[in-house]
Structure formats: structure tokens, C-alpha cells
Amino acid sequence: MKAQPDLTQVEKDKLEINPDFDFREIAKRPFEDITPNELAMFKWSGVYHQLQPSFFMIRVVTPGGRMTTRQFNRAVDLGEQYAQGELCITTRQTLQYHWIRKEDIYKIIEGMAEVGITTKNGCGDVPRNIIGDSLAGAGPNQIGDSLKLIRLMADDDEIQNQRNLPRKHKISVASSNDALAQTLMNCQGWVPVERDGVVGWKYHAGGGLGARPYLAKLIFDWVPEELVIDVTRAAIEAFRRHGDRRRRAHSRLKVVVDQMGAKKFGDVLIDIMKEKGVQGLEQIEYAKDPTPNIGRMSINGEEVIPQKTADRSIVRVMIPRSELKTAQSRTISQLADELGGGIIMFTNRQNIELHDVPNENVVALLAALHHAGFRTAGHEHFPDIVACVGTTMCKMAVSDSPDAYHRLYAALAHDEHYWKSIGTLRINITGCPNNCAHAWIADIGLRGTRTRNAEGGSVEGYSIFVGGKLSEAGKIAEYLCEATNDEIVPAVKKILDTYLANRSNDSELFVDFCARIGIELFQKLITSE
């Protein structure tokens, strides 16, 4: 299809360049012969050009964050051969390879395809990896079968073949009314609800972070399960029709929903489904109030979670800075097979859960994990810090997020008495305003900045935000203060000490403390001697 002359270059590329590259052919071409436009379109195959010339990142697609040990073992083998022996867990419950040479891209793509894992739509202006919460299929509070819906969406050609959207499109399917699934920060968010023994779904739309964060609105109070896929398709079509293709900063579905409002956006979806001849639309109930009411996160620090199946448990493993070395990965996989159920779940806090562990194996599994050097204590507390790759690999980053992570972890994560006294706390560090590490919705969010100094150069640092959450109606974290790299540890320590000294009681959570005292008083407290 010939591109229209008045379109932006990105939109022209999407019409003129086939995103399904033959990476065997690419491997033979000199790097200098690959155009910047082609490099940008590699994303549709889950391939990003790294900051370092001629090296690439590859992201696989794991719907719901679930892998079998057979699939995980293949990922580990390929990482050992082609990615410097390391894998990285993402905040969207999947794996990334870094430091991939152009000549090896096809080897990873084809190798993972052999075990049923694709990289198609790993990046780009497409429906991305469909997420849920890590308890899907196993959690004690689940309603219905969220994994079934996730798989249906991931296998639906009409959803997955929408490869010319205005921007990326993100979908979440929760297993219960629980903020674990991050419903409010996704373009589409599904939450199960049960009426008289029948499972239906609440439908949210319009969430998204980036430089301009939006929280989703509740569009429908009830969608029968048999219409969920139709509504999902209709929302993607609405985005295709109404998304801004000229200003990429305004082109996400979050802007469309914000401008239309919940009721009008719902009307658009109904009209699109009528066009397609979808039956049973009278069963869909519009939201009485567009303000969401998502339950608080149901897990806060547990090392072991009882599954819905009485004789099985989930064992949680913390992965520092999301980085998995080959030997570590093989140990986890071996233990999942020998003592668990052969299932690996990636969480949106870049950790791992082992599902279907027979209860009689839990103690032995924990002991084996600890013997291998893994930490199982500290989830959803200070040690459980999320950080993006920062300036080490990302072209967009302005700050070294891993360095900030290591500074904070080394200074405070080993003081168990201190972080247990603080209680539930989620710290997220992102290297630039694009917010890949979700600083906007953390208890404490650090966003990378650079500030000019007296010598005419710039100093790397962070803007610090507090009080973000994805429960109830959600809240975007508020700006608190600035900190240079060298000030990060004392700044965060001051924030936490201020909280400990001024909370109403020992059970008041940090996020509730922020809401109670307000940002202006918090700013005064941290600047006082």
C-alpha cells in the first residue's frame, strides 16, 4: 500500500515496510546497510536496537507471564549462547535478551518458536504481551479463569494482526478484583465479577503511564464472558480509528478515552460491534459510575501462598534487579521440576513464582532456594525494588537506573529490622519520563533527570514522587523533591524516617500516610531539621 504524502514518517514506514523481517537475510547484510526506518520497524518482531551500535535487545511474548520449564530451559540455553549468559524479567511479565548480535537475532527467534514462544508483537505499535496477575490460574481468590481469556486474546488473529495502530496497546486481565493485575494503568483492563454463580467481567479502558499518566475509567459494569473478545476487538478498532497519528505523545488510547469520556467511548464500542453483527449486546451494562473501585493488592510480603487447589502452594522467589544469570536460571528450573509443578510465572515486579508446588515440598523447596543464594523474603517491601535498564542500554534514558537500584539495595535492603518496621513499600526507578518502570504508581517513584551545573555540564539525578497506587480509583504519585545520584540514599532514608516518625500508628501504610498528610506537609517535614 502506497503511503499518503501528508503522513508522518513513522506512519509512512508502517505502510511501506513489512514488519515481518527475514532475520536470516538481515544477518547477511552489513549493519550500515540497514536503514534507521527498518531498525525502528524491527520492534514489531520484538527486536530493539540497543544504545550500543550493532547490538540488539529481543523481547519474547509470554501471555499471562507463564512458561513451562521446557520453554524456560530453551530461553536459558539461548541466553547462554547469545546474550552473555543473562536474561532480564520485564514489568510486563516476560523475558528480554540483551547484547544480541545482528547475526544471532534469528537464532533466538527461531529457537523460541520451536518451544511455542513467539517474539511477534513484543514491541511496536501493536497489541503487546497480554498480562494478568501472577496468581492467575492458581490464586486462592480467583474468579473464573483469567488465563483462559488471556490465551484466547493471545491466539485471536483479529487482535494480534492489528499491526498498524497509532501507538502500542496494552491489555490486562485480572484473576480477581485485585490491584495485582495493574488494571488501571493499561489501555484495556478486565476484572472478573460473579453474579448468582455466573462469571462476567467489568471493563476498564484508558489507562497508561509514559510522560503524561492517565488512570483507566470504568466503561462497563458487566460484560458476559462470551462477549469479552468482541469488546476487546472493538476497543482496538476504536483506537485504530480515533487515535492521533500525527502527535505520538498524544496517540495512546488513554487520550482517546479521556477526550471522549467513559459513556461516549462505550457507545463507540457498541456501535463498532453492531457494525460487525455481534449479537447479545443488550446484555452489556454501562458503568453506573466511571470511577473504578479496584481492591487492594492481596499479597504483601508472603513467601508462600496457598493455591486454590488445597494441596498446592505458590513459592515466590526474588530476582535482584530482574537479572537472571544462566546458573541461577537452571537452578530455578531444576527445582521447579523436582519439587514444584514445572511452571514458571514472571511477575510485574520482575520476580518469579513457582506454581503447583505440592505442600509437602514447600519446606524443602525454600531450603534449596536459600542454599542456592535466592531470597524469598522481602516481596512488596523495601528489598523488592523495580528498575529499568537506564542509560546502560536504553537510548531514551538520562539516568543510570541500575546504579540507583544498587545504591539503595546495598544501603538499606539488608537491614531487615528497618524494612520490616516500614512494612509494605514499593519503590520503582525509571531512567526517563517514558516510565517503563512505573514510577508514577509506586509508593516511592524515582524518575531520571539531568540538571545543569555551574560548569555548564549536567548532573545526573532523580525527581522523587510519592503516594502512587493502583487500588480503589488509583492515584498518580505526587512530586516530592529532587536528588542527585549521591543524594539518593539519604533522600529515600529521610523520606522513610519521616514516615516512621509521623505515621498515625504502626499499621498505617506508607501510601495511606501520604494521602493523610498531603504532599505539602510531607515536603515541609522532609526539609525540616
Is it the case that residue 372 has pLDDT exceeding 60?
Answer: yes
Contacts of 168 (CB under 8 A, 6+ apart): 123, 124, 125, 126, 128, 252
In sequence order, the 6+-apart residues with CB closer than 8 A to the CB of 116 are: 71
What residue spans in the chain does CATH classification 3.30.413.10 cover? 146-286, 386-527
Residue range(s) in the chain whose domain bears CATH number 3.30.70.3340: 304-371
Q: Distance between CA 443 and CA 112 in Å, rounded?
A: 36
Q: Which of 152, 143, 141, 60 minimizes the C-alpha distance to 100?
A: 60
| 469 close to 511: Cβ distance less than 8 angstroms | yes
356, amino acid identity: D
- Predicted confidence at residue 394, as pLDDT, reads 85
Does residue 177 register a pLDDT over 60? yes
**What average pLDDT does range 385-408 have in this prediction?**
92
Grid cell, residue 270, equals: 457498541
Q: Model confidence over 483-529: pLDDT tens digits?
A: 999 999 999 999 999 999 999 999 999 999 999 999 999 999 999 85
Angular region, 115: left φ>0, alpha ψ -120 to 50, beta rest: alpha
Answer CATH for 146-286 from 3.30.530.20, 3.30.413.10, 3.40.50.1000, 3.30.365.10: 3.30.413.10
Say which CATH class 304-371 falls into: alpha beta
Domain 386-527 has CATH 3.40.50.1820: no
Concatenate the DSSP letters of all residues of 61-87 into one string: B-GGGEEEHHHHHHHHHHHHHHSTTEE
Min mean pLDDT across 198-202, 285-289, 372-376, 449-453 is at 449-453
The 10s digit of each residue's pLDDT in 30-87 is 999 999 999 999 999 999 999 888 899 999 999 999 999 999 999 999 999 999 999 9
- Split at pLDDT 50, 70, 90, the class of 1 is very low
Give alpha helix (H) positions in 261-377.
262-275, 326-338, 362-371
Say how many CA atoms lie within 13 Å of 251 toward its Cβ.
19
- Domain span(s) for CATH 3.90.480.20 in the chain: 9-113
Q: For the segment 196-214, what is each residue's pLDDT rounded down to a tens digit?
A: 999 999 999 999 999 999 9
Contact at 8 Å (CB) between 462 and 488?
A: yes
Please state whether the predicted TM-score (pTM) of the whole model is above 0.85.
Answer: yes
Number of helices followed by number of strands (H, E) in the chain: 16, 20
Instruction: For the chain, state the CA radius of gyration.
Output: 23
pLDDT-wise least confident of 129-133, 429-433, 457-461: 457-461
Residue type, 54: S
Is 9-113 a CATH 1.10.3720.10 domain? no
Calculate mean pLDDT across residues 81-103.
97
